[in-house]
């Protein structure tokens, strides 16, 4: 009786160890799981795509995408993920960085949010008064 009890405990302990070991090796199914892999040299591309597949649920991880954007070799994939997440207010900073990069500017300009772009926050800059560079345009000449 004592041997059966100890074998039962041993089997239960081994089953528990196998279950815990399996948790670390699977493919993530949540935004948090994919975000952990963004800095991985092997799985970063999968992580970027995984965040995009989950869409708007992952908008709180846009800062993580922005953090890896400057050094990532998958800039185009990051911009496609930003488009899939579709969070205009949260993605302004990342898209601004992408627009300043000649290699990614065209794709960044094509990221179209579903909301009106006019509602995005804008930097204010002083406007210069509109004056013509040619003051005599339209005026009659004194040469007659």
* Predicted confidence (pLDDT) at residue 19 exceeds the cutoff of 60: no
Could you report the per-residue pLDDT of 81-123, keeping only the tens digit for each? 999 999 988 999 999 999 999 999 999 998 865 545 555 556 6
> 């952990």: which residue's tokens?
36
List pLDDT tens digits, range 129-144.
565 555 555 555 555 5
pLDDT given at position 110: 87
pTM for this model (two decimals):
0.62
């Amino acid at each position: 009786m004592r041997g059966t009890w100890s074998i039962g405990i041993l089997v239960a302990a081994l089953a528990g160890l196998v279950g815990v070991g399996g948790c670390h090796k699977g493919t993530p199914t949540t935004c948090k799981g994919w975000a952990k892999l963004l800095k991985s040299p092997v799985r970063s591309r999968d992580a970027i795509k995984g965040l995009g597949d989950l869409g708007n649920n992952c908008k709180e991880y846009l800062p993580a995408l922005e953090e890896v954007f400057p050094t990532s070799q998958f800039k185009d994939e990051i911009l496609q993920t930003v488009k899939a997440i579709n969070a205009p207010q949260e993605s302004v900073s990342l898209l601004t960085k992408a627009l300043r990069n000649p290699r990614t500017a065209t794709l960044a300009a094509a990221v179209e949010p579903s909301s009106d772009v006019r509602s995005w926050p804008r930097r204010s800059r002083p406007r210069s008064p509109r004056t013509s560079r040619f003051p005599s345009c339209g005026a009659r000449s004194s040469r007659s």
